[in-house]
Amino acid sequence: MPVEVRLPTVLRPLAGGGAVVKAEGDTLREVFKDLVRQYPGLSESLFTPEGDMHRHLNVFLNDDDVRYLGRLDAKVGPADTVTLMPAVAGG
Amino acid sequence: MAVLVLPQALWERVVAHCLDGLPMEACGLLAGVERTGGVGPGSIEAGEMGAGEVGAGEVGAGGAGANGERWRHEDLTVAEVCEVYPAANAALSARLYTVEPKDLLRADRAAERAGWSLIGVWHSHTHSPAYPSPTDIAAAPDPLWHYVVVSLSDTEPVLRSYRIVGGQVREEPVLTRGIAARALGW
């Protein structure tokens, strides 16, 4: 069962323009890899060159920040929604 | 060009949150709607804008644009702020801010429920002018967003808004709703 992934406006042009896409996976890492398989342009926005989660990305599994759920190892189920949002920061 | 319409009550909430955050920087999200073109002829002159209502150098310098042209409605993007969402500064710093991720998610969901989108962010500069810092420019996440900076370095708060696209900063006028209604023919 695919999970729903909600994209911020800045990433939508890289994923067909929609606000919501579907991706398969039992962990966040697998979901991200499936997203990149479908939309290769998302790769640099999701992963660091070392394969970790991009540090300028906020990722929520339903209402929870995945940084507290194991990051890319967070378990994902078919009823879950993954929400991606850019880190909003400055000085 | 773009114009940010920020109702006076929301202007006050933004500035109040910035003052409450002292001595740290404060931040929050802007939710609203955007319209491009067909918003009526512009006819704003600098003298019509009240203190605290406008923070745009290009308007102040030239009436409507640096070259003094009237705003042409077909070129105009009007971003109307309908709600502001104060956020915690996760950086807990007087020189940096990071919108607390949970507050970002809450704001995004609240905006969506109301039929709006997040269209920008605001933060305070406690000791520097209301202009994006190099850190702000480098970190700007979305070229479509409006970046509002509130300076608290002088006797009165100064609020200005910018677009940041590809590292280039462009200031945009900030109008209260009443002035926008008059200027844009609402």
Domains of chain B: 2-184 (3.40.140.10)
Q: Considering only CB atoms, which residues of chain B are within 8 Å of chain A?
A: 25, 27, 29, 91, 95-99, 101-102, 104-105, 108, 117, 121, 123, 132-136, 139-144
Question: Which band of pLDDT confidence, cut at 50, 70 and 90, is reported for residue B76?
Answer: confident
CA atoms within 13 A on the CB side of B118: 26
B66 pLDDT more than 80: no
ipTM: 0.88
Please indicate, yes or no, if residue A91 is contained in any of the structural domains.
no
Q: What pLDDT, on the 0 to 100 scale, is given for residue A46?
A: 96
Report d(CA B87, CA B27) in Å as an integer. Answer: 6
Q: Which of B92, B120, B112 is nearest to B28 (CA)?
A: B120
Please indicate, yes or no, if residue A34 is contained in any of the structural domains.
yes
Beta-strand pair B168-172/B117-125: unpaired
Please indicate, yes or no, if residue A11 is contained in any of the structural domains.
yes
From first to last of the 91 residues of chain A, give the pLDDT tens digit: 799 999 998 999 999 999 999 999 999 999 999 999 999 999 999 999 999 999 889 999 999 999 999 999 999 998 999 999 999 999 9
Please indicate, yes or no, if residue A68 is contained in any of the structural domains.
yes
User: SS3 breakdown of chain A: % helix, strand, coil, rounded to 5?
Assistant: 30, 30, 40
Please give the backbone phi and psi of residue A42, each rounded to the nearest 5 degrees, phi first: -80, -15
Range of the domain at A28: 3-86
End-to-end CA distance of chain B: 18
B82 pLDDT more than 70: yes
Element (H, E) at A28: helix A28-38
Number of folded domains in chain A? 1
Chain A nearest-CA residue for B90: A89
Q: For residue A39, give the CATH number of its domain.
A: 3.10.20.30
Chain B nearest-CA residue for A64: B102
B161 in Cβ contact with B4 (< 8 Å): yes
- Which of A51-65, B44-58, B87-101, B154-168 shows the lowest mean pLDDT across its residues? B44-58
Please indicate, yes or no, if residue A66 is contained in any of the structural domains.
yes
Please indicate, yes or no, if residue A35 is contained in any of the structural domains.
yes
Please count the other Cβ atoms lying within 10 Å of the Cβ belonging to residue B38: 10
Instruction: Say yes or no for a CB contact (<8 Å) between B139 and A65.
Output: no
- In B45-176, which residue ranges form alpha helices assigned H by DSSP? 57-62, 101-113, 134-139
